[in-house]
Amino acid sequence: MNTQIKNMVFTILLGFLMCIAIGLILYGTDIFMIHLTLFGIVLGGFFGAVIFTVFKYRQMRDKILVLIVILLIDIIALGQSFIVKIFIRDVLILAAWALSIYCYLLFLNKYNTFPLFIRSLALPLLYGIFTVIATLILSLIFNAGTELSIRALYLNGRSAAIIGLGLGLGFDLYEVLKKYIAK
**Full DSSP string of 7-26:** HHHHHHHHHHHHHHHHHHHH
1: three-class secondary structure by DSSP: coil
Report which of residues 113 and 106 the model is more confident about.
Answer: 106
* CB atoms inside a 10 Å sphere around CB 155: 13
77: three-class secondary structure by DSSP: helix
Give pLDDT, residue 134.
94
Q: Where are the domains of the chain?
A: 3-181
**Does residue 1 surpass a pLDDT of 70?**
no
**Does residue 182 surpass a pLDDT of 70?**
no
Spatial CA neighbour of 20 closest among 12, 10, 32: 32
Q: What is the mean pLDDT of residues 53-69?
A: 93
Mean predicted lDDT score pLDDT of the chain: 89
Side chain identity, residue 168: G
**Does residue 82 surpass a pLDDT of 80?**
no
Which tens digits make up the pLDDT trace of 116-174? 888 889 999 999 999 999 999 988 888 766 777 788 889 999 999 999 999 999 999 99
Task: Give the E-state strand segments of 35-180 in sequence order.
Answer: none
